[in-house]
Homo-oligomer: A and B are copies of this chain.
Amino acid sequence: MITREKQPPNLEMPFGTLDGFITPTERFYVRCHFPVPRIDEKTWRLRVEGSIGRPAQFSLVDLRELPSETITTTIECAGNSRVFLVPKVKGVQWELGAVGNARWTGVRLRHFLEQAQVRPEAREVILEGTDKGTIAEPPRPAGEIHFARSVPIGKAMDDVMLAYEMNGQPLTPSHGFPLRAVVPGWYGMASTKWLQRIIVSDQPFNGYYQTVDYAYWQRGDSGPTLAPLSEMPPKAQIARPEPGEVIAAGSNYLINGAAWVGEAEIVKVEVSIDRGKTWREAKLDDNPQKNAWRLWRMEWETPVAGSYTLMARATDSRGRIQALERNGDGGTYMIDHCLPIEVEVR
C-alpha cells in the first residue's frame, strides 16, 4: 500500500497491482478523517433514533442474528486521482488507487427502518460514525465532531447495507469494525465506517461532511448551489501500464484496467494511445453486476520508440461518456475525466 498520510491512516492501493475482480482487504484503500476508533464489540451498540416511533439499540450479536445478505460493490474515494489536477488542489493527493471492489455482508438498512416505524415526514437518514475530532480550517464548527453523512430516505430504503463483514471476514479496524455502511453506487464518503447511530431526520442534513467537505457546486437556474456528493459518474482507469512505465517496442502489451459507475452499468470502454485523438474498443469482462466495477483489457502491438499518452474512457447504460477534459464544477472532487497515462516505448 502507498501511505498518503500516516496518522490518521490514509492508504491507497498501487493500482498497477489490480489482478482480479475482488480487491483483497489488505489492498483496499483506507480513508480516515480522525484516528481509528478502538471499539469493544461487547459494549458497542448501534442506536436507531430520530423521527421514528420505535427507537432501538442493537449489539453485534443482535445484528448477526438478523437476515444477512452479501453484495459486491465498488467504492471509490471522491478525491481519487486528485494528483492529476493542475494546478494542485488541497486534500489527500491520491493517485489511482483510492478505489476497490469488495464483497460486503450485513443487514440492509431497510430492515431497521421497517422496524422503526419511520414517520411520514422523514426525508433523510443520517449515518453517524464513532470516529471524531476537531476541524482545523474555517469554516468549521467549534469543538469535536463525529464523521456523519446522510442519504435520502428513498436510497436508505432501497439498497444501503450495514455491513459487518468484508470479503468474508469481520471488518478490520481501519475498514470500520464492528459495523459500517455501504452505500452502493455512491462515492466512499457516504459509506460511514464505525457506525454508532442511525438518525432519521425530517430535514436535509447540513453536517460538515455534507456541506464544507464532500460537496460540490451544482449549476442551476438560481446560480450554483452547494450539493452533497453522491453517485459516481462513469469512469475507466488504466491499471497497466502504470504512469511512467517503460515498454518494449514491437511487443504485445496487455493494457488492462477497471471501469465503474453508480446506479447504471458500464457498457463500453475505449482506449486511446494518442491522448484521445483516436480510440479502440477494449474487451469487457462478462457478467456485469450492478454497482461493481467491470475489468477490461486490450492488446496493444507497441509501436516504434517514443512517448505515448494512454487514456481510457467509459460509456454507461445511460449514454454518458467520460469527458476528455476536466469540468471544474467538482472542485477538488469527482475527478472523472480521462486521465492521461504517459509511457515510454523503447
The chain A residues found within 8 Å of chain B, CB to CB, are 50, 89-90, 126, 128, 138-143, 145-146, 148, 197, 199, 201, 204-208, 211-212, 215, 217, 221-227, 328-329, 331-332
Contacts and interface: CB of A to CB of B under 8 A. Distances in A.
A224 B134 CA distance: 12
A224 B208 contact: yes
Contacts of A206: 211, 225-227
Contact of A205 (B148, B205, B208, B222): B222
Contacts of A223: 128, 141, 145-146, 148, 207-208
B222 A138 contact: no
Contacts of A199: 221-222
Nearest to A89: B138
A250 to B, nearest CB: 45
Contacts of A142: 217, 224, 328-329, 331
A145 B208 contact: no
Contacts of A146: 223
A32 to B, nearest CB: 18
Q: Which of A140, A225, A329 has the most CB of B within 10 A?
A: A225
A204 B207 contact: no
Contacts of A331: 138-140, 142
B205 A332 contact: no
13 contacts: A138-B331, A140-B217, A141-B223, A142-B224, A142-B328, A143-B224, A148-B223, A204-B204, A206-B226, A206-B227, A208-B226, A211-B211, A211-B226
